[in-house]
Amino acid sequence: MSAEIQIKNALISVYYKDGLEPVVKELHQLGVTIFSTGGTQSFIESCGVPVVPVESLTGYPSILGGRVKTLHPKIFGGILARRDEANDLKELNEFEIPQLDLVMVDLYPFEETLAKTSDESSIIEKIDIGGISLIRATAKNFKHTAIVADKQDYQGLLELLKNQQGKTTLEQRKAFAAKAFHISSHYDAAIFGYFNQAEQLPVLKLSSQEATPLRYGENPHQKGTFFGNLNNLLEKLHGKELSYNNLLDVDAATGLIEDFEEPTVAIIKHNNPCGVASRSTLLEAWTDALAGDPVSAFGGVIVLNRALDVETAKEIDKIFLEVLIAPDYSAEALEILKSKKNRIILKKKADLPKHQTVRSALNGVLVQDKNLVVLEASNLKPVTSKTADEAAIADLLFADKIVKHTKSNTIVLAKNKQLLGIGCGQTSRVDALKQAIEKANAFNFNLDGAVMSSDAFFPFPDCVEIAHQAGITTVIQPGGSIKDDASISYCENNGLVMYFSGVRHFKH
């Protein structure tokens, strides 16, 4: 213990009163003079604890509809005075300013208001002025006074008051100050985000109040933490805690499934889809998604876009999987799936945010808009005289959705809205195609009449030549190569159909 300060005077002005009563009663028991104002003053008085109105100290009432209550030299002087500075103490005495040893103040609920309304006047009124000033001033002067700016710290403060007879140490005050600056900086970041929605200022401000320590990062020797409130998107119904790698796969899985409207099942492994199928029922979709690569499906993440029924659950339960995600589960299906102790079962409550993606790079971060493009038939531009029928067009759109969510370079082969083969993360597009064909052949798929989707253009005709030899008849690619004509000519001369989407889907 060092640099102990006995709490003699406290200023309390809080929005949230939860857990405050035992604290003010303990302060009273310790003989502390409590200054307060407005609703907090009324609450403290209702607890049977005497309180000195701030107005009696400042000589001014609360004005401007409560906008100005504590912004006064007699308040901030008592907070900011340096007790090891003779002149500061002289001025406190001269102007009859009491030293404030403890300040308990929180902030108006700006983020909560923003989540509930779009009314600008209501939002603006929840921008705290006095509270944020009190927090910063007290935290700055932590050597001499203590700031408690979070109701979550009331219990800790109460224990401190009891165990230390109303004294605080320098270490404790500095810890409170760190928490206070975290709260104030997060609050300001949220306000800036509201005012900068149109991104007039090219500034990145990220702040999260929620931090979940993970068992480890990508590998056991790496530390990992998830920042954010996962409960806004997903509810964990069963299983062990999500790992760093689980979270990456869940992100990939949910992003992919949100692009599909028909009943669809996707299987994700290391952020890439290894099985996808859209069918009239979930059971059929599961059966055909699994057939796409039953080997890679082992230990994977499974995502569905319909409530899981008992029949499909029985089939899914037959394989080992890490995570299962669905918008809902029947009671019987859930009971079956819970038979595996560590199996993670998640209920998807909301779609992923549609704003930007952020990732670290070099000594900074890269920020970009999310790839939200989902092609429709009207977006496809035929570049060959022969065109595709309705079923092939549907397969092209199906395959393009998968390409969008797969690591580059990537090629997707599909037929009848089923993933037949995928080549991903390859250094050449030819290698990606060969890998996709090899995958399809390994699981006995017939590629005759299948479609091929590429995440980027073909600089040479080699890919369409290889695809043609494998039985593929229809191709979709972004187009844009200076040698587009070479690929188009090969398709034209060999009866293949090619469409340009005009949209590249690089993913790194």
Nearest by Cα to 10 from 28, 35, 43, 31: 35
Instruction: Please tell me the total number of residues recorded for the chain in this structure.
Output: 508
Cα-Cα end-to-end distance for the chain: 52
Buried b (16+ CB within 10 A) or exposed e, 221-243: eeebebeeeeeebbeeebbeebb
CA 106 to each of CA 40, 60, 76, 78, 132: distance values in angstroms, whole numbers, following the listed order: 11, 22, 16, 18, 8
Asked if residue 7 lies in contact with residue 166, where contact means CB atoms within 8 angstroms, the answer is: yes
CA distance 134 to 138: 6
Query: E strands along 50-173, which residues?
Result: 52-53, 102-105, 146-148, 167-168
Q: Which two tokens stand for residue 72?
A: 């006064």
CA distance 21 to 29: 12
Interacting residues of 395 by C-beta distance below 8 A, sequence separation 6+: 414, 415, 416, 417, 450, 451, 474
Decide if 270 is catalytic.
yes
CA distance 329 to 311: 12
Asked if residue 392 lies in contact with residue 497, where contact means CB atoms within 8 angstroms, the answer is: yes
Q: In which residue are the tokens 């595709």 written?
A: 388
CA 413 to each of CA 318, 389, 455, 465: distance values in angstroms, whole numbers, following the listed order: 27, 17, 12, 15
Q: Give the helix/strand (H/E) hosting 396.
A: helix 390-404
CA distance 371 to 5: 56
Q: Which of 126, 270, 314, 434 is catalytic?
A: 270
CA distance 376 to 396: 10
Largest CA distance in the chain: 98
Q: Give the helix/strand (H/E) hosting 261.
A: none
Q: Which of 140, 186, 340, 407 is catalytic?
A: 140
CA distance 284 to 478: 31
Kindly list the catalytic residues: 140, 270
